[in-house]
Structure 1
């Protein structure tokens, strides 16, 4: 084994990064599947943008940016539920103004972080993540928040699945859809802000949506998609850390490539590969059906898959 690879597995910095990254990848992979199924990617982007306000503010007052991310994210999630996610989605102008204000506050706080707090790396840390410089002291907090988020998903699993597939039918069967929606937005906020800690507020939804969308291209079963998404997220997280660490040795002496870029690039490649695989599989299936049944496709009745 080369010294570079040995150094990766023996570095305390890498150990902390992998510990945090593992829990964050699993949480975002699980929560991301329901986010995609429920069509709430918009909410994830919103929580990331507004969470950055808390992250930059936390730097200013001298506390862990994770507390800022999570605090702002949970408050934003509750406000979104109060206003109504569907109403927010349709009110493009008002929504854009609110999010612009959030980003404006973030820029102000980051300016103060530099001029008053004397922190020259606050902007990079908040916006693009700092997985290799995470304080080991917050690892227990990351684990605790991850357990809370996954635990809520486990408890709400059947309600979430029913509400995601057909909200009216779920309500008719006695599912408390409003409570389910509120709790899921809180879980979504936790997942997004944990992701922001690792790869930054701007890129956080890539880790939330990418592995989940990839998994859903490969399977139609929600349970399998959840496990597959968590697995994909974990793989790209570990490989991203490894590529970033190893880049020091072949990047021309200019330092390591940003770990956030490496992770997001691998998420993108995994999604493209799944898209190509799903497209090829779909064409093969259509060809097989045409051979078995030469009747033109336009004459066939549409088929609707219903999850039981």
Structure 2
């Protein structure tokens, strides 16, 4: 057993400060993103999650430009985007996607401008672009750990408070309205919590790849779980395991590649992708509704 552990864990892994910081921040981001991702998949709002991630990149770029905490930048821009998308809420799916696409384009345009200003004023365009878009987990400052844990705890609390009304609104909004549930307010609250999750994942795996951490574990869990609550636990476990395994592989790769190493974000996303493919091959439920939606309806008694 010791030989097996030493073969998997390269010397210095458990004592490395950057690795410990990455494990804490990445773990918090994985749990929050995977949990809210279950509702995002059930509601068919994966594109909204991707849009919030893209728009939040403008906040990350602004943080580099003005020298502020990058998580605050991602958070602020993500929440603004969430409120904007709900403010222009349209019932028809095609028009919702149109509004979301417009918001996404505007956010990416602002991000391009801010990264250009970073390049012309601070001469760190390459590093800023890579960090904002693809993450740099081993370079995260440990000083942001308290803020990450606070945001993560707030997001988990939000998920707990929203669980029942959000599930009912996701499965049957008309029934929810009849029962007096404020459907639009619940939808806005979901988007705000989603923005918190996206900000956490963006600070770890980058704005572009954060959707994989948001949607991947949730999609896998909804194939296996019979109830939404169980799916949330499965998704959190899958996201956390994938993130920590990706950190280990990325650290070990410094030895395999002669000191260069693979990006942590690539390792995490690759693990999630492989697990999803395996889950899809094992559980071929077939046509029509996704397994998660069908199970959720059954669990809610709809």
TM-score w.r.t. length of structure 1: 0.87
Structure 1 unmatched ranges of 5 or more: 284-303
Select the structure of larger CA radius of gyration: 1
| Post-superposition offset of 1:179 | 1.6
Number of residue pairs the alignment of both structures matches: 285
Partner Cα distance (2:169, 2:26) in 1 = 30
| Distance across 2 between alignment mates of 1:116 and 1:87 | 44
* Aligned residue among 56, 63, 66 for 1:58: 63
Native 8 Å contact 2:25 2:148 kept in 1? yes
Q: Does 1:224 align with 2:227?
A: no
1:218-266 Cα deviation digits (max 9, x unpaired) = 1231011000000000000000000000001112x25010000000000
Q: 66, 69, 74: which is aligned to 1:69?
A: 74
> 2:179 & 2:11 partners in 1: Cα distance?
56
Distance 1:82 1:265, change over 3 A: same
Quote how far apart the aligned CAs of 1:202 are: 0.5
- Contact in 2 for aligned 1:214/1:274 (Cα 8 Å): yes
The answer for the alignment partner of 1:301 in structure 2 is none
Counterpart residue number, 1:78? 83
Structure 1 residues 33 and 94: alpha-carbon distance in aligned structure 2, compared to 1, 3 A threshold: closer
Superposed CA deviations along residues 24-74 of structure 1, whole A, max 9, x for unmatched, are 111011100000001111110111111111110111011111111000000
TM normalised by structure 2 equals 0.89
Q: Does 1:33 align with 2:38?
A: yes
Q: 2-side partners of 1:89 and 1:9: how far apart?
A: 49
Moved over 6 A (4+): none
Partner SS state of residue 8, structure 1 = coil
CA distance in structure 1 between the partners assigned to 2:94 and 2:151 by the alignment? 28
- What is the aligned partner in structure 1 of residue 270 from structure 2? 265
Gaps of 5+ in 2: 287-296
Relative to structure 1, the CA distance from residue 82 to residue 98 in structure 2 (aligned partners, 3 Å threshold; closer, same or farther) is: closer
Q: What's 1:187 paired with?
A: 193
State the SS of the aligned residue for 1:7: coil
Matching residue of 1:144: 150
- State whether structure 2 residue 128 is matched by structure 1 residue 122: yes
Q: Distance in 2 between matches of 1:160 and 1:95?
A: 20
Contact 1:59 1:122 in 2 (8 A): yes
